[in-house]
Chains A and B, each alone.
Chain A
Amino acid sequence: MKVEAGAIDPREVQRGLCVMLLDPGYAELVRGEAALPELGAAARAMLRTIDPRALGLDRFRRTRALQVILEEMPVSAAIVGVAAAERFFSSPALRAAIFGRGSMVLAFGGWLGDSAGGVGRLEFAMARARRGGGAVIEGARAGGAMLRCSPKIAPLVAPAGTLAWYQRALARLGPTPLVTLAAQTRPWPQRPPSRGEEFLLVEAGADGALAMGTGSAALVRLLVACAAPRGREAVAASAVALGAEAEDVAGLIDSLVGEGLLVECEGLPCPSLRHPRAP
């Protein structure tokens, strides 16, 4: 398996190999002629030398990876069906996560988009909160006191009744959701709520446990607006637009900071929900 190693980026090779291990279709693409912008010519030439059989030695690698996704987003998987969920492994979203040093579960949540309705977005919010909001890092600004939503909190505007529907669905999956999902790979006929609005807050505690509840429309919308770092003036303007009295807004922001809902940051990276979506 020797190839001229000039101009090789070893990390690119390893990332390509990881995708090939999880996605036989990608391995075929590497061996084919279609353009793959994430791989340089030297890296691709090296990856082409791999005996395809060696990629399949661990027959359960992909299953284990899928299991982790299903454990975190079981209701979403029930709504779209396990077979559809597994198609994530053949998606550009998985490649982006691996080549971009991202989180597989978060990439799945982004790829899912609205396919599982507000319930899917709720489970995605839970996954983000568990990781302290650690999605794709972008949008940092240098200097100045900035404010952003706490990375431990995921605000969400979802269709009315989403939280209750989610809780019923989770109960329906039983004490061992993976077993239930394995036995029922087709999508559920029941669809999650799609009308109205519900304003949700998901918060990760210090021990990693999640708390979920509803908040006021204005609060949740304000926190959503603060997903990226913003100047205090911009946050104040959003608060006023959402109904706060101008003379109260400074105190309101201070109280949100005091309660840990907003955090101060100095050009720190922020989470973005920018992920490739399911086709």
Chain B
Amino acid sequence: MRGSFLDRVGALPRLGLGVSTEYGARRQDGALDPAALRARAPAYAGFLEVGVEVVKGLDADASAWAAAGWPTTYHFLDVNLDEPEDLEESWSAEARAIAAALRPAWVCGDAGLWHFGARDRGQMLLLPPVLVKASIGPMAAGIRALRAALGLEVLPENPPGSVFLGDMHLLEFFAALAESADTGLLIDCAHLAIYQRVMGFDPLTGFDSLPWERVVELHVAGGSVLTHEGLAMVDDDHGTAVLPDTWVIVEAAIARAQNLRAVVVECERNPLEATLPIFAAVAERLPQGWLAGAGE
């Protein structure tokens, strides 16, 4: 890909408001059917963000969505970007085959630790990166390598967590990562709210350190507070109750992200009717006319 990301971003389509899924998500009782959502409220399901673990591939719902020619993004669930071993050719070849089926607008995914040890059964998890400068170079190299391997933009996402280590603010870290990898960003507003809370910060702390012109995608999701031995934490449960801090972040992010192309509501395990208010609430916060131009 030629040119800097800020040149390339102009070629990325505006996907609008979309919904996420992962392998088998709809097969759970009461789970959201993205195709049904698209039929019921097309503006809320402008695209499908497909969570992909290469070893599992695509389920029937994701395959059918792609076969219909509807827009998608590819959200990886199995790459430690800072481990070159993870981009082995056999994995890359399978990822390319999946991307060929999905024809995604771009690739995105949490820039964190998706598995401990080798990529093997029982070893999947998700931890945030260690927020130090030494993490940035290897992770940026992984983003560049994945971009080259798949021929698609790769947008790192800020992961959730209950433990954040390092001397950089998360937004400062992702700013440096985006610059180093010359890429765009996916900001998960719910994950960011969790981080700010864990660190004892206000919801918008560090906002000025992020190059918002690189933010292409936002995630919005519900969460719930749980307490363990007196320690209160937010569980990123993708429920229907979006926490107030998350809304504060959503509004501030929308106001700053002039190259925003996509907003995903992550609510895949909830009944359709229960999710509609979140989509409506997000749509209300988007700029006038922004949704109308999506998909063009």
Interface of A: prevailing SS = helix
Interface residue total, chain A, C-beta cutoff 8 A: 44
In the assembled complex, the CB of B181 is this many whole angstroms from the nearest CB of chain A, namely 16
Stretch at the interface among A6-14, A146-154, A218-226: A6-14
Q: Which residue of B lies closest to A100 (CB)?
A: B117
Q: Tell me if B118 and A101 are in contact (CB < 8 A).
A: yes
**Number of contacting residues on B, CB 8 A?**
33
Q: Mark B96-117, 1 if CB is under 8 A from A, else 0.
A: 0000000000000000010011
Report B205-236 CB contacts with A as 1/0, cut-off 8 Å: 00000000000000000000010111101000
Partner of B231, one of A9, A18, A51, A61: A51
Residue B122 lies at the interface, judged by CB distance under 8 Å to chain A: yes
**Separation of A51 and B113 alpha carbons in the complex (Å):** 20
User: Is the beta-carbon distance between A14 and B130 smaller than 8 angstroms?
Assistant: yes
Q: A5–B165 Cα gap in the complex (Å)?
A: 10
Give the number of residue pairs across the A-B interface with Cβ within 8 Å.
106
A90 CB to nearest B CB, Å:
16
Q: In whole angstroms, what is the CA distance A54 to B129 when docked?
A: 16
Tell me the bound Cα distance from A62 to B226 in angstroms: 19
> Which listed segment binds A: B131-139, B272-280, B284-292?
B131-139
8 Å CB contacts to B: which residues of A1-42? Answer: 1-5, 8-11, 13-15, 17-18, 21
A88 and B83 alpha carbons, distance in the complex (Å): 26
Within 8 Å of chain B (Cβ to Cβ): is A186? Answer: no
Question: Chain B CB within 10 Å — which of A47, A65, A68, A101 has the most?
Answer: A101
| Minimum distance in angstroms from B15 CB to a CB of chain A | 32
- Chain B residues with Cβ under 8 A from A1's Cβ? 163-165, 199
A17: chain B residues at CB < 8 Å are: 127, 163, 165
Option from B120, B125, B129 in Cβ contact (under 8 Å) with A103: B120
0/1 interface trace, chain A 40-53, chain B, CB 8 Å (1 if under): 00000011011101
Cross-chain contact B226 with A57 (CB below 8 angstroms): yes
Contacts of A11 in B (CB 8 A): 82-83
> Which listed residue, B118, B125, B229, touches A61 by the CB 8 Å rule?
B125
* A3 to B131 Cα, complex, angstroms: 11
Nearest-neighbor residue (CB-CB) of B231 within chain A = A53
A102 an interface residue at 8 Å Cβ cutoff? yes
Indicate whether A97 reaches chain B with its CB closer than 8 angstroms: yes
Chain A contacts of B117 at CB under 8 A? Answer: 18, 97-98, 100-104, 107
Q: Known: A10-B129, A13-B165, A14-B127. Is A68-B121 also a contact (CB below 8 A)?
A: yes
Report the minimal beta-carbon distance from B147 to chain A, rounded to whole angstroms.
21
Q: What residues on A are CB-neighbors of B29 within 8 Å? A: none
**B133 contacts A54, CB within 8 Å?**
no
**20 more A-B contacts (CB under 8 A) besides A10-B134, A50-B163, A57-B231?**
A1-B163, A1-B164, A1-B199, A2-B167, A3-B167, A8-B130, A9-B134, A13-B165, A49-B165, A51-B231, A54-B162, A57-B228, A67-B122, A68-B121, A72-B121, A101-B117, A102-B117, A103-B118, A103-B123, A104-B122
Chain B contacts to A: CB under 8 angstroms:
82-83, 85, 113, 116-118, 120-123, 125, 127, 129-130, 132-135, 138, 162-167, 199, 226, 228-231, 233
8 A-B pairs with C-beta separation under 8 A: A2-B167, A3-B165, A5-B166, A14-B130, A54-B162, A56-B228, A101-B117, A104-B120
A residues contacting B by CB (< 8 A) are 1-5, 8-11, 13-15, 17-18, 21, 46-47, 49-51, 53-57, 59, 61, 64-65, 67-69, 72, 97-98, 100-105, 107, 131, 134
